[in-house]
Structures are given as C-alpha cells and as structure tokens.
Amino acid sequence: MKELELYIHIPFCIQKCRYCDFLSGPADDTSKRRYTEALIREIEAVPDDRDIRITTVFFGGGTPSVLPGEWTAAILETLRRKFTFAADAEITTEANPGTVDKEKLRVWRESGINRISFGCQSSYNEELRMLGRIHTWEDFLMSYALARESGFDNINIDLMSGLPGQSLKAWETTLRRAAGLKPEHISAYSLIVEEGTPFASMELDLPDEETERMMYSRTREILKEYGFVRYEISNYALPGRECLHNVGYWTRTSYLGLGLGASSLIGNTRFTNTPDMGEYLRNSANPGCLRRNIEHLEEKDEIEETMFLGLRLMRGVDKHRFEQTFGTTIRKIYAPVLEKYIDLGLLAETEDAVFLTEEGVSVSNAVMAEFLLDSY
Ligand code: SF4
C-alpha cells in the first residue's frame, strides 16, 4: 500500500496578524459554509484508490478552529469515506486560543482528531497585542486546560522568538512557561518579516544578531531541561511525540493538499491549488482545473530536495533509503561537499546517515546551499 498524507487548508482567521503572509483572512459565516461545501466537493472528486493508506491528516490555515466542530467532523467523515486510514493515523488540527470550547473539543475527539497544535506565540500579552494576535496568554491557558480535560494527550504549542522589543529574558520566560505546562511538542520559530505584511512597513526594534543567536541556543538548552529533544531545526518533542505529518514533509512522503492554495507532492510531481477563492468555489468538483504550478521534478531536483529537507532533521538523511530511491550513494554524488563540511565539523556521517552537527545547525542555510547540483 502507498502511504499518503493529507493537508486540509482552512483559509479563515478572525483577524489578520501583523506579520502573517499566509493565505488567510476574516470571512462571514456564509462564506465559511460555502467554502466547506466546496472543500467537501473537492474531496469527493478525488479519484478512488483503495491502494492508498492515509497516515496523517493536518488541518492548517488560517485558523481551522474558526469552523464549527460539526463542519470539521463532516470534512473528516468525507475523507474517511474516500480513503483508507491507518488505524493509528495522526490527525492534527491547528487552533487559536479563544476559538475552542468544550463542545467543539468533544466533537473533534469524536471525529477522530487526536492532536492539537495551538498558535500561542508568546506568554506576554503586550507581545501578543503587538503581533496582532486575537488572544491573551490567559486565553491560551484556558484553551490548553480545556483540551487536556477533553482528553487530548498530544498537544503542540507554537512559540515565536525574535519579536520586536523582545529581550532574551522574556523569550526564556515564555519558553519556561510553555514547557512547564508539559505539552508533548513545542515549535519555536523566529519571526520573519515578510514583504507585503504590515510589519514590513513598520519601524521594528528587532533583536540584534547576537541576541537572536543566543535565543536559538537557549531554546534547546531550556527545553532539554524539560525533557524535550530537538528533532528538527525549529521543532522539539518529548521522545516519541514528533509531528509525524511534518516528518513526512521532511522525508518527502507524498502528500495531497486539499483546499484553497494547498500544495501537493505526489511522487515526483508538485502542484498547488488556485489561490483565487471565486475560482476555487466554482471548480472544486473538478480538482484538475484547480491545479497551478505543476512541476515534474527531475531526479536532480529530487536529490537536492532529499538533502535540503532531510538535513533539517537532526537524524539527518537516511543513507540506505537514499540508495534505494536513487540507485546511488550520497557519497558518490556529494563526496567533495561531505569532505569539506565533515572536516569543518559542520556535518557528520555514520553507517546510516548524514546529518548536521550542533555547529552545523547554526549555519544550516550555508551548508545546505552547497547541496545544490549544478550538473548531474
Ligand atoms: S492566526 Fe495564523 S494564519 Fe491567521 S493571520 Fe494569524 S498567523 Fe496568519
């Protein structure tokens, strides 16, 4: 059986955060209902293939938790009718604090959702306000407690460092407050000021490079005290609680994206659904018409992606899997790069894998860039 991951895009948020360039925005209930109906039509139109086994489902956005619980359950029910699910499939929904209540959490549990990823970002209300978030730290604590009471035993907390005006001490406090709640997983990304966002046109008092560097290294040290292991450049989990869906991305498992603007990788083909809502609503029953940017990857592209994405994982790129997939070894293709960076102490190699060392992680972009293949 072929394994497949599913990504479901819910492009709605209560209000736009000042740093966000995701395909998302506010909408009224009628628009949300129309979209959910269109999404269900898109799922129903996927060609049947009983030889596929769904290992993970991820509701992302936007803020998937703005939909009524019953609508999310209806989407999942349609997915189950269409696909064969692994018995232990990881089914995650992103949620914003303040958008969940007991009833919604109950419906989610009953529908099979077994993981929640809370967009918390900070434990300081002034930082949350400055980011344009809709919630306070207290809202987050309440939502987190409700999720635990409702039986969710796999929870991620998203946090963000490098915020305007944020001190190293404030970041450390946020990390300790979040880790002290004992979630299974913490994602800790640093703020990127994206073009076209309100932040891009503001004078921001961003932490200097040295503070940013300290924030990154302290993240690992502090989370380690609480039992978290860094398994990817920006992701930390208790042992055995890594996000399987994202590990799938980094190891190039096929995934099908459903919904507005959703991206897919099926075998060696990448494509993206239209980002135009009108077009999506009109054509969702005919997924072929939604597809944009269809790219058939050559072997060279697949090898590069395998290295870039795999090196993000602390366990690195699996040498045996690489050889099975490409019929050649990493060493045969990349001997000079491996030698150079192993000598510099930035890469390491064992019988089974090639991976970034601790020093390598801090300059990962520069190292990864050398895995581009000019000629192959
Ligand atoms: S909640 Fe998330 S998706 Fe929505 S605007 Fe904020 S950052 Fe963007």
Decide which of 214, 229, 249 is a domain's last residue: 249
Q: Which two tokens stand for residue 155?
A: 């929870």
Q: How far is the CA of 315 from the centre of ligand 1 (A)?
A: 30
Kindly report the protein residue whose alpha carbon is nearest to atom 3 of ligand 1.
62
pLDDT of residue 203 exceeding 70, the answer is yes
Is there a domain that residue 176 lies in? yes
| Closest alpha carbon to 93 in 117, 121, 62 | 117
- Dihedral sign computed on CA atoms, order 341, 344, 346, 349: positive
Whether 33 and 148 map to the same domain: the answer is yes
pLDDT for 108 equals: 98
| Closest alpha carbon to 40 in 290, 262, 273, 281 | 281
Whether 96 and 230 map to the same domain: the answer is yes
Is there a domain that residue 274 lies in? no
Number of domains within the chain:
2
Whether 231 and 332 map to the same domain: the answer is no
| Closest alpha carbon to 177 in 242, 215, 122 | 122
Q: Are 4 and 254 in contact (CB under 8 A)?
A: yes
Q: How far is the CA of 13 from the centre of ligand 1 (A)?
A: 6
Whether 15 and 155 map to the same domain: the answer is yes
Q: From the CA atom positions of the chain, what is the Rg in Å?
A: 21
Q: In CATH, what number is assigned to the domain containing residue 88?
A: 3.20.20.70
Q: Provide the greatest CA pair distance for the chain.
A: 60
Report the residue among 17, 19, 135 best suited for mutation to probe ligand 1: largest number of ligand atoms under 8 A from its CB: 17
Whether 334 and 187 map to the same domain: the answer is no
| Terminal-to-terminal C-alpha distance of the chain | 32
What SS3 class is residue 117? strand
Decide which of 249, 269, 295 is a domain's last residue: 249
Is there a domain that residue 362 lies in? yes
pLDDT, tens digit, 9 for 90 and up, residues 128-187: 999 999 999 999 999 999 999 999 999 999 999 999 999 999 999 999 999 999 999 999
Whether 240 and 349 map to the same domain: the answer is no
User: What residues flank ligand 1, with Cβ below 6 Å?
Assistant: 13, 16-17, 20, 22, 24, 61-63, 96, 119
pLDDT, tens digit, 9 for 90 and up, residues 225-279: 999 999 999 999 999 999 999 999 999 999 999 999 999 999 999 999 999 999 9
Is there a domain that residue 104 lies in? yes
Whether 243 and 329 map to the same domain: the answer is no
Q: Which atom of ligand 1 is nearest to the CA of 96?
A: 1
Across the strands, what pairs with 207?
none
Is there a domain that residue 49 lies in? yes
By the 10 Å C-beta count (0-12 exposed, 13-18 middle, 19+ buried), 102 is classed as exposed
> Which H or E run contains 349?
strand 347-349
Whether 78 and 175 map to the same domain: the answer is yes
Is there a domain that residue 66 lies in? yes
Kindly report the protein residue whose alpha carbon is nearest to atom 8 of ligand 1.
20
Whether 20 and 169 map to the same domain: the answer is yes
Is there a domain that residue 254 lies in? no
pLDDT, tens digit, 9 for 90 and up, residues 267-309: 999 999 999 999 999 999 999 999 999 999 999 999 999 999 9
DSSP letter for each residue of 26-91: ---HHHHHHHHHHHHHHHHHSPP-TTEEEEEEEEEES-GGGS-HHHHHHHHHHHHHHSEEEEEEEE
Helices first, then strands: H and E counts in the chain? 15, 15
Whether 126 and 228 map to the same domain: the answer is yes
Q: Which atom of ligand 1 is nearest to the CA of 19?
A: 7
pLDDT for 50 equals: 85
For range 328-338, the mean pLDDT:
96
Is there a domain that residue 294 lies in? no
Q: Are 23 and 260 in contact (CB under 8 A)?
A: yes
pLDDT for 376 equals: 57
Q: Which atom of ligand 1 is nearest to the CA of 94?
A: 2
pLDDT of residue 375 exceeding 90, the answer is no
> Which H or E run contains 333?
helix 330-343
Q: How far is the CA of 31 from the centre of ligand 1 (A)?
A: 18
pLDDT of residue 374 exceeding 80, the answer is no
d(CA 9, CA 53): 20
Whether 328 and 202 map to the same domain: the answer is no
Q: 364 is in which domain, residue-wise?
A: 316-369
Q: Are 219 and 161 in contact (CB under 8 A)?
A: yes
Amino acid residing at 275: P
Q: Which two tokens stand for residue 206?
A: 């961003």
Residues 349, 351, 357: CA angle, nearest 5 degrees:
25
Whether 10 and 147 map to the same domain: the answer is yes
